[in-house]
A and B are shown apart, each in its own frame.
Chain A
Amino acid sequence: MLDGELNLIREAQKGKKEAFGPLYDHYVAPIYRFVYVKVTDKEEAEDLTHEVFLSAWQNLKGYKHQGFPFSSWLYQIARNKVIDHYRTKKTHTSFENVDEDLLSIVGVVENDLEKVLALDKVKEAIAQLNQEQQDVIIMKFIEDLSNEEIANTMSKTEGAVRLLQHRAINNLKEILWKND
């Protein structure tokens, strides 16, 4: 959670753009990662990330703090945007080759190629999970969110989130094992 987050939100709710700036800067990377791992395309991830923040900025006056970090609200918007994205777009990116976006994003030198290949495989495996399992994998293991925050974002109980994590990891292992 960002220092002075509540004050920044209150100021931004009054229409002060300079207060929303630090919130944007703090959360743009995690939201981008969340979207990118799910849609697997850099440009789509950028478009969706922009839509998430645009929607957040435009609807900020309706935001009500409920004791959770601002990121919970942003993740909720991002989840809905990705669901809408898949509802309108039926095609999926092929994973036959190494993801070039990933190569450019990680900015590897040759000896990191193995790492990128591993990342690519894992990303491909994540894409085969259902939406909820994808969400929990990203939020728990990539973004290190607490179970409480994940539960709030996904409108589930912490117990349900733990169960979802367990199933997601098992499915991920199974997919990776099959592919090997």
Chain B
Amino acid sequence: MEERLIKVLKSLKLVSPDDGFIHRSRQILFASEQKPAPARFVFSFSESFRLAAALAMASILLFIALGGLSYLHLGNLSPSLLTKAGGENLKSEMENLNFQIQLGQAKYDLGNEKSVGLDIDELLKNLSL
């Protein structure tokens, strides 16, 4: 039965369009204009492969680096430790900093006064001459 069926299917090749239809269709077809080529942002296969490989390598290196730090217990390098700094620590740090600035300023002022005094002494000496 299959052979007979395939033979009948092959005979459907007799089906063909009318000449009149072909003529009309051709005329309409060639009266229309083509659309412009679509804009493409295409990565070639090699480019996309290289990009994927670079991203994969970067991920692996990052993973190894983090794993290494963790293994060596170098957790204090982690920026997340900054958040552990309490408010009290920060406050005392700030106070110390201000204090040092004040001492520095006082030292500067004292030094200044000395030099001004010397200048005045010298001026007075000159005047008395």
Contact = CB atoms under 8 A, between A and B. Distances in A.
Q: Do A and B bind each other?
A: yes
A142 interface: yes
Given A118-B8, A142-B9, A54 B16 contact: no
A123 B6 CA distance: 12
17 contacts: A17-B30, A21-B30, A24-B26, A25-B22, A45-B17, A46-B18, A46-B21, A59-B34, A61-B37, A62-B35, A105-B15, A119-B8, A142-B9, A142-B10, A142-B12, A142-B13, A169-B2
A57 B32 contact: yes
B14 interface: yes
B34 A37 contact: no
Q: Which of B10, B11, B34: most chain A Cβ within 10 A?
A: B34
B35 A61 contact: yes
B17 A46 contact: yes
Interface of B: prevailing SS: helix
A173 B4 CA distance: 10
- Give me the 7 closest cross-chain CB pairs, A-B, nearest first: A61-B37, A141-B9, A32-B17, A50-B25, A17-B30, A29-B16, A46-B21
A169 B5 contact: yes
Given A61-B37, A122-B5, A172-B5, A54 B28 contact: yes
Given A61-B38, A106-B15, A176-B5, 7 more contacts: A20-B29, A32-B16, A46-B17, A53-B25, A54-B29, A58-B34, A105-B16
Contact of B34 (A15, A45, A176): A15
Interface of A: 15, 17, 20-21, 24-25, 28-29, 32-33, 36-37, 45-46, 49-50, 53-54, 57-62, 102, 105-106, 115, 118-119, 122-123, 137, 141-143, 169, 172-173, 176-177
B4 to A, nearest CB: 9
B2 A173 contact: yes
B36 interface: yes
A29 B26 contact: no
Nearest to A172: B5
A49 B26 CA distance: 11
Contact of B9 (A29, A62, A137): A137
B126 to A, nearest CB: 97
Nearest to B26: A24
A122 B12 contact: yes
A15 B59 CA distance: 48
A29 B16 CA distance: 5
Nearest to B25: A50
A49 B16 CA distance: 12
A59 B35 contact: yes
